[in-house]
Amino acid sequence: MSIQPKLIIHGGAGSLEGNIEKVNHIRTSLEDICDKTYTHLCSTTSYDAVIYGIKLLEDDPLFNAGTGSKTQQDGQIRMSAALMDGSKTRFSGVINIQNVQNPILIAERLQNYDHTVLSGEMATKFAHELGFKAYNPLTVERLKESKLNKGGATGTVGVVALDSSRKISVGTSTGGIGGEIPGRVSDSSTIAGTYANLFAGVSVTGVGEHIINSGVATKIVTRVEDGYSLKDAVSKSINEGKSKDYHFGAIGISSSGDIIVDKTKDTIYYAFSDGHTLSIF
């Protein structure tokens, strides 16, 4: 039986320290991207819509993914992205890839290979051998931040989509936290930050080490598979994170069409659409 498609996206979590102008820009961009992605979702699959939405987020320099990614301690940008097709429970991703415009598109191509996760120089080499052009994602703003040693605790974008056939897909992409040890691995390119199956899909943002320690996305989706409602599964994981003073937020959709967003602290910037309502926060 078909269902009304559902979509939720996020643009990261954390505090912008009262920068209302930037918050408003983020909300406007999220609204536009959510609207475009939902329109796309209504004429395609959740899998294609997730790739479409993540690409839009990666191309917007407001967000710390793709163009506008933060630099690591050595001044280099290393990006990570993951994609999961819930109907196939198939995960693919790239870790610390460099010199590409859209890491999510390389994660997409890896869905067709036996080896679905690549890292570092070999991920970059793989992308360029596939024909992806060399691209510098550094922006003037990120260069200024790098010179001022401004990092940040968080930085990720994510999309979760449910199509009319009740198939769920998830994508997450990040430029890291900024100023980290070169080569540090984020949660985004692991099943702790990106996970989906036939029951639910979840994308997580926040402090990667906290998310990995808690296995957030996988744990939430597994709980839904085991009989929890999505709301209860997310609430349980968020409360577990709060008890450890962890920083993360999660967005998710269940196969029944429930949409949920929750966080341990700070702010998570997100937008969702169910065909009747487009809301941003």
Is there a catalytic annotation at residue 156? Answer: yes
Catalytic residue among 156, 174, 190, 205: 156
Q: Which amino acid is at 122?
A: M
Give the CA distances from residue 151 to residues 4, 120, 132, 141, 247, in Å, rounded to whole numbers and listed in that order.
40, 21, 28, 12, 16
3-state secondary structure of 20: helix
Q: What are phi and psi of 151, to 5 degrees?
A: -105, -115
Residue 235: how many other CB atoms lie within 10 Å: 15
3-state secondary structure of 218: helix
Quick one: DSSP state of residue 76?
A: -
97 touches 185 (CB < 8 A): no
Residue 194: name the closest of 281, 123, 117, 275 by CA.
117
Beta strands in the chain (DSSP E): 6-13, 79-85, 90-97, 117-119, 157-162, 168-174, 194-196, 200-206, 248-254, 259-263, 268-273, 278-280
99 touches 134 (CB < 8 A): yes
Active site members:
156
